[in-house]
Structure 1
Amino acid sequence: MDLRTVVFDADETLVDLRTAVNGALVAVLAEMRRLTPAARDVTLAEIEGDWDAVYADHASAPVTEVRRAALARSLARVGLTAELEPIAELYFARRFALTRPFEDTLPALGVLRRSYTLGFATNGNSRPDRCGLAAEFAFEIYAHIGGVPKKPAPEFYAAVLTAAGMPPSSVVHVGDSPVKDVEAAQAAGLHAVWLNRAGLDRPPGLRPDAEIRSLSELPAVLGHWRQSP
């Protein structure tokens, strides 16, 4: 198999977004409680739910806009709508300050770079230079930049292939989402590896080209493919 390029999803694949978002929301809730006694009864779960409610209606919107709308919803609970700008600034400062690669990320990238061109492709607003991954990738693709829509749109993967300068058969995409990172990549002709860190049951009908629990497994998987006729 003539594999030349390995492209990675960002959040929950390369970087631990969940921990960063949780820490940022804890800071937001603390600031809300400092600003008004009315926020004392607001829970972290309610603030997390505000993201879910907004995202359900605006899944195709840029994630920064969705987060701002979710924060506005949280602030409206306690009459703090006018505080959106400083609260959003606090959230994003903490979110990026806390965003770090998973422990298996940098070692795996170091091994893979010896044999493959590496790419970074995300629906989100994680940027390698703000997440401990500066200068790790030959190219970066972001939804909502340059007219690129979010995954699972086929145009997203068309942009990936254009940046890679390779046919789909020479590119493998690695990510944590069965729909956005596996099925959509395969529909565009790419190979797809499902990174299943939590050991979840495979969704019905999902047939990744490979399933791994850690990025440390990826070099061996791809090496085996390259040796196959």
Structure 2
Amino acid sequence: MSALRAILFDIDDTLFSTTEFARHARRNAVEAMIERGLKLDADTVLRELDEVISEFGSNYAHHYEKLLQRLPPEALAGLNPSLVISAGIVSYHDTKFQELKPFADVAPLLADLRAAGMHLGVVTHGWTVKQAEKLVRLRLLRFFDPLAVIISEQVGISKPNPKLYAKALRELDLPASEVLYVGDNPTHDIAPPQSLGMRAAWIKRAAKHDLAGTGIQPDHVVEDFEGLRTVLREVYGIAV
């Protein structure tokens, strides 16, 4: 087995709980809209918002405008829709400023890996500014090689295209056999890097994706970054 010289990470539901954060931030946004006068209960509005996000995607810029278009007219009677939307957006961003934090075991392992001389990077799917902002707000950017932060929109290649991972290998100037990828989505984060000869670890604590029926076999399956630490120490001999 080749020595491991670099580790690349997914962001969402790998470095922090995207799913839990988004759920909380959206509820806060809906409650702020109701405080502004929206005449519906929070659960009803959240169900409609979830449907909007499912249809238009999480990176769509006008979720709340679409949401109000779908609600019954009486829910907005006597209200200025732009003020209702603004209340939701402000509350969402206030939640982001206050609560966007990495999993507790992430920064300690990244710090130890850097101290051990490992190259660290990110391969992530999403809008450039949005994904970069997450790394800054999570206060993790200092751990990663700047040129090895690969964002799909920025390079014009989307997961699960293996070319996205090949771009990271070129930036690191390392062969695939010396690089490990860590992510939570088997289809996007395990099979594509493996197809290039990289090793891949599936981190499953977010419980959003399952291996069942995929035919995908990760090189390692871990619950969290403490489990990853054990693999790196016992399998690869890295002093962490």
2:6 is matched with: 5
State the Cα distance separating 1:73 from its structure 2 match. 2.1
Contact 1:96/1:131, CA 8 A, preserved across alignment: no
Q: Counterpart of 1:132 in 2: which secondary structure?
A: coil
Q: Counterpart of 1:101 in 2: which secondary structure?
A: coil
Q: Which amino acid aligns with 1:47?
A: L
Contact 1:19/1:99, CA 8 A, preserved across alignment: no
Match of 1:176 among 184, 194, 197: 184
| Deviation per residue, 1:141-182 (Å, 9 max, x gap) | 11201x332211122112211222211111110000011000
1:210 aligned to 2:238?
no
User: Which shows bigger deviation, 165-174 or 119-128?
Assistant: 119-128
Over 3 Å counting, the alpha-carbon distance change for 1:141 and 1:86 in structure 2 is farther
1:77 aligned to 2:70?
yes
Q: Counterpart of 2:50 in 1: which secondary structure?
A: helix
Contact 1:19/1:98, CA 8 A, preserved across alignment: no
1:141 aligned to 2:150?
yes
Contact 1:141/1:160, CA 8 A, preserved across alignment: yes
1:21 aligned to 2:22?
yes
2:229 is matched with: 219
Q: Which amino acid aligns with 1:30?
A: E
1:163 is matched with: 171
1:116 is matched with: 118
Over 3 Å counting, the alpha-carbon distance change for 1:37 and 1:69 in structure 2 is closer
User: Which shows bigger deviation, 4-13 or 77-86?
Assistant: 77-86
Q: TM-score, normalised by structure 2?
A: 0.79
State the Cα distance separating 1:103 from its structure 2 match. 1.4
| Deviation per residue, 1:176-225 (Å, 9 max, x gap) | 00110001111232110000115676323110011111111223313444
User: Which shows bigger deviation, 154-163 or 199-208?
Assistant: 199-208
Q: Counterpart of 1:7 in 2: which secondary structure?
A: strand
Q: Counterpart of 1:43 in 2: which secondary structure?
A: helix
Q: Counterpart of 1:10 in 2: which secondary structure?
A: coil
Q: TM-score, normalised by structure 1?
A: 0.82
Unaligned runs of 5+ in 1: 56-62
Q: Tell me how far apart the structure 2 counterparts of residues 29 and 99 of structure 1 sit (CA, whole Å).
A: 18
Q: Tell me how far apart the structure 1 counterparts of residues 137 and 225 of structure 2 sit (CA, whole Å).
A: 21
Aligned residues: percent identity?
26
Give the alignment's Cα RMSD to 1 decimal.
2.5
Contact 1:157/1:185, CA 8 A, preserved across alignment: yes
Q: Tell me how far apart the structure 2 counterparts of residues 105 and 222 of structure 1 sit (CA, whole Å).
A: 14
Q: Tell me how far apart the structure 2 counterparts of residues 148 and 223 of structure 1 sit (CA, whole Å).
A: 35
Q: Tell me how far apart the structure 1 counterparts of residues 81 and 192 of structure 2 sit (CA, whole Å).
A: 38
| Deviation per residue, 1:14-67 (Å, 9 max, x gap) | 112222212221222022213334344633233223211223xxxxxxx53x2x
Contact 1:32/1:39, CA 8 A, preserved across alignment: no
Match of 2:49 among 38, 47, 50: 47
Over 3 Å counting, the alpha-carbon distance change for 1:135 and 1:115 in structure 2 is same
Q: Tell me how far apart the structure 2 counterparts of residues 181 and 91 of structure 1 sit (CA, whole Å).
A: 28
Contact 1:54/1:69, CA 8 A, preserved across alignment: no
Contact 1:24/1:94, CA 8 A, preserved across alignment: yes
Q: Which has the larger radius of gyration?
A: 2
Q: Tell me how far apart the structure 1 counterparts of residues 112 and 10 of structure 2 sit (CA, whole Å).
A: 18
Q: Counterpart of 1:46 in 2: which secondary structure?
A: helix
